Amino acid sequence: MKLVRAFPLVLALALGACVGTTGGEVVSFGAQLAGPEGVTEHRVAFTSGRGLAVTLTKASLRVGAVYMNRSKPIPVAQEKSCISTGTYVGEVLGGAEADLLSGAPVRFPRGGQGTSEAAVTGELWLNGGDLDALEDKTVVATVEGEVVLPAGAKPFRGSITFGSNRRSAAIDPARPGADAPCKQRVVSPVAVDVTLAQGGLLTVRVDPRAWFALVPFEDLREEGGVLVFDDADTNASSVGLADGVRAPQGVYRFEWSAN
Amino acid sequence: MVQLWFTTPVLRVALFSLVLARAALAEEPVPSVATDDDTDPHDEHQSATPEPTKKADEVTVRGRTAPPSRGASDFQLKVGELARVPRANAARLLELAPGLFLANEGGEGHPEQIYLRGFDARLGQDLELTVGGVPVNQVGNLHGNGFADLHFVVPELVEALRVVEGPYDPRQGNFAVAGSANYELGLERRGLTTKVTKGSFGTERLLLSWGPEGYGRHTFAGGELVRSDGFGTNRSSQRGAINAQVEGVLPGTGTWRLLGTSYATHFSSAGLLRADDVGRGRVDFFGTYDPRQGGDATRHSVSFDVEERVSDTTYRLQVFAVGTTLRLLENFTGFLHDPQEALQNLHTQRGDLLDLAVATKSVGLRASSRMRFKLLDLPQEVELGAYARGDDSDGQQVRREARTNAPYRVEADLQAVSSNLALYMDTSLKVQKWLTFRGGARAEYYGYDVLDRCAVQSVRQPSRTNPPGDSNCLTQQDQGRWREAFQRSTTAGSVLLPRASLLFGPFDDFTFSASWGRGARSVDPIYVSDGLATPFAELDSGEIGASWQQSTEAHAIALRAIGFRTHVDRDLLFDEVAGRNTLAQGTTRIGFVGSARYTTDDVDLSTSGTWVRATFDDTGLLVPYAPDLVLRFDGSYHRDLFERFEGSPLHGNVALGSGYVGRRALPYGQRSEVIFTVDGAASLGWKGLEATLSVQNLFDARYRQSEYVFPSVFAPSDGVTLVPSRHFAAGAPRTVLFTLGYTLGGAS
């Protein structure tokens, strides 16, 4: 009888034991990759940063993974590593490839995982294999379109990979790892203001128009009347396009919508 | 200076010990009938000092002075029949103390992780552990300052434990943050005993012990050899342990003891698993990611102590020497913490397996004198004591490559010589029969001389003609200027730790107590910087308690209830990158403890419950990992089944142990799973023969004994997972063991 009377006390004690939290929670959310808002017809015309009239008819991007960090990268630490020293609060793995001019977002198949802490930094990994591998032949970005040069309108095309083709020929013998392949493939820091929550949706919006901000076009080689971006750092336009794809500012935007 | 101290007193102590031993060995051994150092386990609030008596027609009773109780949180635990409850090793006996919960994520030879009163004491950093007064915590072990491995203790040779929860006794020294525990060794059963055990997972154990007839139970020797394939994958282990002690008498009323222990183990470890991988079936619940995990450990110690009473003063001196080695291979994070650094040649993630090797040597002494006198017609006591310990630890931690198993990076390479000297005064003063003040203060000095042999691991502007490349214990500064790879740092610090208890009673078998104390955790040598003040972690702890105990010829009952609060100014938290605990913010713990023990000739029952709330001072959020609710039950029932069976009685015994650990707070608002296990044993004994069937985890509960939340990458091809994720170490499934034992000669 005494035991029966004591039971509520024991129960209260047991329940009380689970009161409180260490803060935050673990969340799952959806994630998608999308082009710029309002672009739906596989065609977008704009004036580039160099003042050139460009019409894009194809722009696709493959993203290997997306991360969010609660800290801004520390320059010295970032010099050492492609993985930030702060705590990662969100990640989207599995990769996705999107046609950025279709207006149709593409879902990351595995969704995202994270914790409910505010993220201030975003990262995109533009890889298809091991981030640190010297070689990666995965085509990350593809572009096609037309540019109006002083000599007239010219079609152009190009595709970009980040492998040994981007490795600098002049390697400092004292710092052979300074130009690590992973640094070519990580877009960081993208400024974000997102607090993840269970069931929400993360949209990584990519504006391919900004890829051309520093592309002069005039130094591109021509193949059958088409200007071709080299998949290597051979001329300023090819370098400019690759730099545009991995530019942390002005290209990528992280949007969050609660469920 | 430190090294001088380290060597000269050691020689002095050794010489003094030899002189004492030589004098004492000339004496007769202590007859068993004439030795009594029992303190009544149910009379825990008294300064239980057996009074040596000498009458013409009576034997002389020689005894050891039991330390005076510090109130309700001072648990003097006779193991007794509760030794029959199945336990994996001697460390598990600690769970007889309320609120103590043990887990082991590192394999059979890896020390138990200790949780007590809301502290994640890891491998001993917050619990001062001693065996027969010999310290077990290792100072300067790279795997964790205070690392304590109790596997060298043979379980059958544990007679009693004294667990003080909280820092309330001036005798408590370094690492007594959550409290302290001392194992007292002894062998009740005389004669020669052999036990052979065989059971699940290829487990085999041989135990030999002997206690010479005519000698007290503190003269004994025993050893065990154990091997097992272990459950699941990669959990095989082998170990051997030998404990031996001789007790002799001094010319007066005192005794001396010489204790030696020796232990060695080799083991494999499954390590931690990601819960999401187990959920998706990528790895089995009892599987492993990295079969290279495991380790080796050895420990050898010798201790000599004397206790003598002259007039109203009891003198005690103990000297000890301990040597240990440890090698641990653990991989917490897979392929994550090998960043490409600018100085290095290009590489991919090579693997995070930590390969740690540590060797420690410790020597030390304890000395005390306790004087009794009368004042106000009441017994009073004053004790002065000293403690000295020198440690020399040498440790190296490297990372090993997954593909070739070659070491590729030295993470730490340290030699630390540390000195700990302490003086204390303890009193037991009565102003009324029902009011006792116990306490005093302890002053500690810690000195460190740390040689970092890998002091420079990176340089911003390296030499272009002599680039460091992949080596990481560098001999250059900016612009390639030469420097040696090592750096020596010395520092010292001291602290005064007052401690006091007030005991009221007994009133109708009730005793009330209030205790307050200050404790400190010495700095981990890895954090020592030249000339900087030693950053102690200091704590304040207070509690109030009530106990009720009643002893009759038929039974003994002891009940306790305690409320406590502890504040630590600088706590430690597990860091998976370092593979150890690292500094964190201040924390506060409040909690309640309840315990009961009931003993008759046939029955021995013990139960306890502890609830605690541990929070960070700055945020008010819970401290992760420490359990907030721990319940424990141990019971043993024994009786003669038949009066006579072939001329001798047939003894039967059943024993049951059960533990419940509530859902522990984990980082990011998560909670662990509940742990609830039941262990049972049944035995039959006839004459010197005994057969025992024991089952650990009787209901085959599938549980996670340790859970952590941190990022790891064990399948890089499937994506680099940088967000913290749940990891766990699987608890052992049902384990059935059959033991056949035989004792030749002797008597219990």
Radius of gyration of chain A (CA): 23
- pLDDT band at residue A170 using 50, 70 and 90 as cut-offs: confident
For the record, the structure tokens of B593 come out as 């403890």
CA-nearest residue of chain B to A129? B717
CA distance linking residue B149 with residue B124, whole number of Å? 8
CB contact under 8 A, B342 and A22: no
Count of C-beta atoms within a 10 Å radius of residue B142: 29
% residues pLDDT > 90 (chain B):
69
- pLDDT band at residue B658 using 50, 70 and 90 as cut-offs: very high
Q: What is the pLDDT of residue B274?
A: 96
Query: Is residue B747 over pLDDT 70?
Result: no
CB contact under 8 A, B458 and A79: no
Smallest CA–CA distance, residue A135 to chain B, in Å, is 11
Cα B574 to the center of its chain, rounded Å: 18
Q: For residue A75, is it within any domain?
A: yes
How much is the average pLDDT of B416-431?
A: 96
Burial (CB count within 10 angstroms: exposed 0-12, middle 13-18, buried 19+), residue B53: exposed
- pLDDT band at residue B180 using 50, 70 and 90 as cut-offs: very high
* Of the candidate ranges A153-167, B380-394, B571-585, B705-719, the one whose mean pLDDT is the lowest: B571-585
Instruction: List pLDDT tens digits, range B689-699.
Output: 999 999 999 99
Q: What is the pLDDT of residue B213?
A: 87
* DSSP 8-state assignment for residue B470: T
Query: Is residue B208 over pLDDT 60?
Result: yes
How much is the average pLDDT of B172-191?
A: 93
* DSSP 8-state assignment for residue B626: S
- pLDDT band at residue A10 using 50, 70 and 90 as cut-offs: low
Query: Is residue B145 over pLDDT 80?
Result: yes
The DSSP string of B209-269 is: EEE-TTS-TTSEEEEEEEEE--SSSS--EEEEEEEEEEEEE-SSS-EEEEEEEEEEEEEE-
Instruction: List pLDDT tens digits, range B374-421.
Output: 998 999 999 999 999 999 999 999 999 999 999 999 999 999 999 999
- pLDDT band at residue B280 using 50, 70 and 90 as cut-offs: very high
CA-nearest residue of chain B to A134? B346
CA distance linking residue A175 with residue B284, whole number of Å? 42
Q: What is the pLDDT of residue A17?
A: 53
CA-nearest residue of chain B to A172? B464
Q: What is the pLDDT of residue B524?
A: 83
* Of the candidate ranges A8-22, B164-178, B213-227, B425-439, the one whose mean pLDDT is the lowest: A8-22
Residues in chain B with CB shorter than 8 Å from the CB of A89 are 723
For residue B636, the number of C-alpha atoms closer than 13 Å in the C-beta half-sphere is 21
CB contact under 8 A, B722 and A134: no
* Of the candidate ranges B249-253, B491-495, B731-735, the one whose mean pLDDT is the lowest: B249-253
Q: Which of A25, A79, A94 sits opposite B669 (nearest CB)?
A: A25
Q: Which of B346, B624, B716 sits opposite A22 (nearest CB)?
A: B624
How much is the average pLDDT of B433-449?
A: 95
Q: Which of B277, B346, B615 to mutate to test the interface with A (most CBs of A within 10 A)?
A: B346
Query: Is residue B169 over pLDDT 50?
Result: yes
Count of C-beta atoms within a 10 Å radius of residue B250: 17
Tell me whether strands B689-696 and B74-78 are parallel, antiparallel or unpaired.
Answer: unpaired
Residues in chain A with CB shorter than 8 Å from the CB of B343 are 174-177
CA distances to B89, B109, B254 from B112, in Å: 10, 9, 36
CA distance linking residue B708 with residue A57, whole number of Å? 50
- B303 close to B258: Cβ distance less than 8 angstroms: yes
What's the residue count for chain B? Answer: 748
CB contact under 8 A, B722 and A80: no
How much is the average pLDDT of B596-622?
A: 93
Determine the Cα angle at A86 with ends B461 and B408, to 5°.
Answer: 55
Residue B197: strand pairing partners: B205, B739
Q: For residue A18, is it within any domain?
A: no
Q: What is the pLDDT of residue B61?
A: 63
Q: What is the pLDDT of residue A80?
A: 59
CA distance linking residue B393 with residue B388, whole number of Å? 16
Q: For residue A140, is it within any domain?
A: yes
CA-nearest residue of chain B to A113? B723
Q: What is the mean pLDDT of chain B?
A: 88
Q: What is the pLDDT of residue A8?
A: 53
Count of C-beta atoms within a 10 Å radius of residue A41: 10
- A79 close to A85: Cβ distance less than 8 angstroms: no
Burial (CB count within 10 angstroms: exposed 0-12, middle 13-18, buried 19+), residue A8: exposed
Query: Is residue A230 over pLDDT 50?
Result: yes
Reply yes or no: is the peptide bond before residue A189 cis, omega within 30 of 0: yes
For the record, the structure tokens of B626 come out as 């420490």
Q: For residue A113, is it within any domain?
A: yes
Q: What is the pLDDT of residue B367?
A: 98
Query: Is residue B436 over pLDDT 80?
Result: yes
Q: What is the pLDDT of residue B712?
A: 94
- A242 close to A224: Cβ distance less than 8 angstroms: no
- B340 close to B347: Cβ distance less than 8 angstroms: yes
Torsions phi, psi of B67, nearest 5? -65, 140
For the record, the structure tokens of B154 come out as 């043979």
How much is the average pLDDT of B626-645?
A: 88
Smallest CA–CA distance, residue A73 to chain B, in Å, is 15
- A202 close to A29: Cβ distance less than 8 angstroms: yes
Smallest CA–CA distance, residue B345 to chain A, in Å, is 5
* Of the candidate ranges B130-134, B156-160, B302-306, B581-585, the one whose mean pLDDT is the lowest: B581-585
For the record, the structure tokens of B174 come out as 């370094």
Instruction: List pLDDT tens digits, range B23-81.
Output: 333 333 444 333 344 333 333 444 333 333 444 455 666 678 788 999 999 999 999 89
ipTM: 0.89
% residues pLDDT > 70 (chain B):
89
Residues in chain B with CB shorter than 8 Å from the CB of A24 are 667-669
Residues in chain A with CB shorter than 8 Å from the CB of B662 are 14, 17-18
Q: Tokens 């052992």, residue?
A: B732
Q: For residue A6, is it within any domain?
A: no
CB contact under 8 A, B347 and A132: yes
* DSSP 8-state assignment for residue A164: G
CA distance linking residue B191 with residue B210, whole number of Å? 5
The DSSP string of B510-523 is: EEEEEEEEEEEEPP
- pLDDT band at residue A71 using 50, 70 and 90 as cut-offs: confident
* DSSP 8-state assignment for residue B713: B
CA distance linking residue B617 with residue B634, whole number of Å? 36
- B559 close to B549: Cβ distance less than 8 angstroms: yes
* Of the candidate ranges A241-245, B356-360, B742-746, the one whose mean pLDDT is the lowest: B742-746
The DSSP string of A156-209 is: EEEEE--SGGGS-SS--TT-TTTT-HHHHHEEEEEEEEEE--TT-EEEEEE-GG
CA distance linking residue A100 with residue A141, whole number of Å? 10
Q: What is the pLDDT of residue A12?
A: 53
Q: For residue A4, is it within any domain?
A: no
Q: What is the pLDDT of residue A178?
A: 84
Query: Is residue B668 over pLDDT 90?
Result: no
Residue with the bigger pLDDT between A173 and B512: it is B512
Which domains occur in chain B, in start order?
A: 2-298+305-744 (2.40.170.20)
Q: Which of B348, B611, B621 sits opposite A16 (nearest CB)?
A: B611
Query: Is residue B1 over pLDDT 50?
Result: no
Q: What is the pLDDT of residue A23?
A: 77
Domain count, chain A: 1
* Of the candidate ranges B462-471, B549-558, B737-746, the one whose mean pLDDT is the lowest: B462-471
Contacts of B406 (CB under 8 A, 6+ apart): B400
Instruction: List pLDDT tens digits, range B496-537.
Output: 999 999 999 899 899 999 999 998 888 888 888 776 666 567
- pLDDT band at residue B472 using 50, 70 and 90 as cut-offs: confident
Residues in chain A with CB shorter than 8 Å from the CB of B623 are 22
Residue with the bigger pLDDT between B381 and A79: it is B381
Instruction: List pLDDT tens digits, range B307-346.
Output: 999 999 999 999 999 999 999 999 999 999 888 888 888 8
Radius of gyration of chain B (CA): 26
CB contact under 8 A, A175 and B668: no
Residue A146: strand pairing partners: A55, A155
Q: What is the pLDDT of residue B6?
A: 35
Owning domain of residue A179:
23-257
CA distance linking residue B77 with residue B329, whole number of Å? 35
CA distances to A11, B7, B15, B319, B392 from B4, in Å: 59, 5, 17, 18, 13
CB contact under 8 A, B343 and A90: no
Contacts of B733 (CB under 8 A, 6+ apart): B231, B286, B697, B700, B702
How much is the average pLDDT of B216-222?
A: 95
- B142 close to B647: Cβ distance less than 8 angstroms: no
- A145 close to A212: Cβ distance less than 8 angstroms: no
Q: What is the pLDDT of residue B168?
A: 95
Q: Tokens 């970032």, residue?
A: A78
* Of the candidate ranges A55-64, B17-26, B217-226, B591-600, the one whose mean pLDDT is the lowest: B17-26
